[in-house]
């Protein structure tokens, strides 16, 4: 990829050099035309003076010399007409050269834009490559490098080959293992709810818990509340990708939200508000949810029973629900010991894959909607981190190539530091028309 970008950069540079050569030739020819035009003007002035002189001579001489004077006058007038035609021709040539110069200038500007963009992409690729150098490291990385430095026999080569084959198998195993812990849901709300419940039950333990004298599944109670809240109160006009994530110490949901405030919600002061009344009503009538406001109370109650912790509800343009987890709750989260890959490889590959997976609970994400949301958000200067967090993307490289570069190319988004595309202080702002 980097080689292709570098090749493209060189090709664009050659095009600029070629166009610049043509431009310089046109400028030289224009200067020559200017000199010829000035000479034509001088000749015309001389002929005009000669004409005036001949007319005066004609008036002064007698009848016998009249024919000769008339002939001289005709010749002078012819030369004058020829000079005017020559001036016209040179003027047309000059205008043609001016138009050509304007076209070459425009072509150079467009090529420079392409070169700047190509250079920016190349620098981004170099930056990505440097990051990947750290990402692809594994337990035997230094060993391979050491073997490579001391490569002096076929046996050493075989050792390197074996180590690399081990790495490839570990990565493949990690990728296969991760497929078991990720699901993309694109279906209707009821099926989405069922599949989310199945996913949660699959990856969360269900320890024995007593509520009074009755056994209850605190896990299922919590999942029911957070999933019904996720689906019933989501802002479906937003392109922000809804998600449910299970980690070692907590699980959380995120969804776009028409906020009625900002910050942490407290159970004692919380005022319930239906974001999508029609969906909330259907969920209540189908027993997927209870009365408005009960979800937070139930989540508090069963989280205490499940993990002994306190849930958090964060109101904003993105609504976030966080449920703390105990070691018992996540006892079966993660690959089995028999299939466990080195923690380093698993974590690194997980980051690379997870960051580039879009999860949607209600339909197909539209790129145009994403781009428009970016432009709306960037009415003021925003950093890449701020934009990614707002849009729900963690992989900045993927997001930059997918959305930011195309918007910059289209002239809809611009950098605050275009001469330093990879500056730590780089920000982006929408172009206003």
Helical ranges in 233-332 per DSSP H: 277-285, 294-306
Only one residue has tokens 């050792």, namely 159
Specify the pLDDT at position 1: 55
Strands (E), 217-344: 243-246, 250-256, 263-264, 312-315, 318-324
Structural domains present in the chain: 2-134 (1.10.287.1700), 184-333 (3.30.565.60), 366-433 (1.10.10.10)
Report the distance separating Cα 257 and Cα 237, nearest Å: 9
pTM of the entire predicted model? 0.41
CB 214 within 8 A of CB 222: no
Radius of gyration (C-alpha) of the chain in whole angstroms: 38
Name, in order, each residue with C-beta under 8 angstroms of 136's C-beta and a sequence gap of 6 or more: 348
Per-10-residue mean pLDDT of the chain, 433 residues long, equals 62 75 77 75 72 68 62 78 78 80 82 74 61 52 58 57 68 65 82 91 85 84 92 88 88 89 82 84 86 83 90 91 84 46 40 38 52 90 89 75 84 87 84 81
* Continuous segment of H or E residues that includes residue 83: helix 66-135
């Amino acid at each position: 990829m980097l080689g292709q970008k570098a090749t493209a950069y060189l090709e664009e540079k050659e095009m600029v050099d070629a166009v610049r050569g043509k431009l310089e030739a046109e400028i030289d020819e224009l200067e020559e035309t200017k000199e010829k035009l000035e000479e034509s003007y001088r000749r015309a002035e001389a002929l005009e003076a000669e004409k005036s002189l001949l007319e005066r001579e004609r008036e002064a001489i007698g009848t016998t010399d009249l024919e000769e004077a008339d002939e001289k006058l005709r010749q002078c007038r012819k030369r004058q007409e020829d000079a005017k035609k020559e001036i016209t021709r040179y003027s047309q040539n000059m205008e043609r050269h001016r138009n050509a110069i304007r076209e070459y200038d425009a072509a150079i500007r467009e090529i420079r834009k392409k070169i700047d963009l190509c250079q920016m992409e190349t620098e981004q690729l170099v930056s990505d490559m440097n990051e990947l150098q750290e990402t692809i490291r594994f337990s035997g990385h230094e060993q391979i490098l050491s073997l490579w430095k001391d490569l002096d026999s076929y046996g050493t080569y075989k050792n390197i080959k074996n180590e690399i084959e081990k790495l490839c198998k570990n990565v493949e195993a990690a990728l296969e293992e991760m497929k078991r812990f990720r699901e993309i849901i694109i279906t209707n709300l009821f099926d989405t709810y069922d599949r989310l419940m199945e996913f949660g039950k699959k990856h969360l333990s269900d320890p024995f818990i007593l509520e009074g004298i009755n056994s209850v599944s605190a896990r299922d109670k919590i999942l029911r509340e957070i999933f019904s809240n996720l689906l019933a109160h989501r802002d479906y006009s937003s392109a922000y990708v809804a998600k449910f994530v299970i980690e070692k110490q907590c699980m959380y949901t995120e969804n776009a939200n028409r906020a009625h405030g900002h910050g942490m919600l407290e159970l004692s002061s919380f005022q319930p508000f239906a974001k999508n009344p029609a969906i909330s009503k259907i969920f209540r009538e189908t027993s997927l949810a209870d009365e408005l406001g009960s979800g937070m109370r139930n989540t508090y109650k069963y989280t205490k029973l499940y993990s002994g912790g306190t849930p958090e509800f964060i109101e904003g343009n993105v609504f976030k629900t966080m449920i703390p987890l105990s070691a018992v709750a996540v006892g079966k989260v993660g690959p089995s010991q028999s299939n466990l890959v080195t923690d380093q490889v698993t974590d690194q590959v997980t980051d690379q894959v997870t960051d580039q997976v879009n999860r949607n609970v209600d339909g197909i994400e539209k790129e145009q909607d994403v781009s428009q949301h970016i432009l709306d958000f960037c009415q003021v200067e925003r950093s890449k981190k701020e934009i990614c967090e707002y849009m729900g993307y963690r992989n900045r490289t993927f997001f930059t190539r997918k959305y930011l570069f195309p918007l910059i190319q289209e002239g809809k988004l611009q950098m605050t530091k275009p001469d330093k595309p990879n500056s730590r202080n780089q920000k982006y702002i929408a172009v206003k028309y």
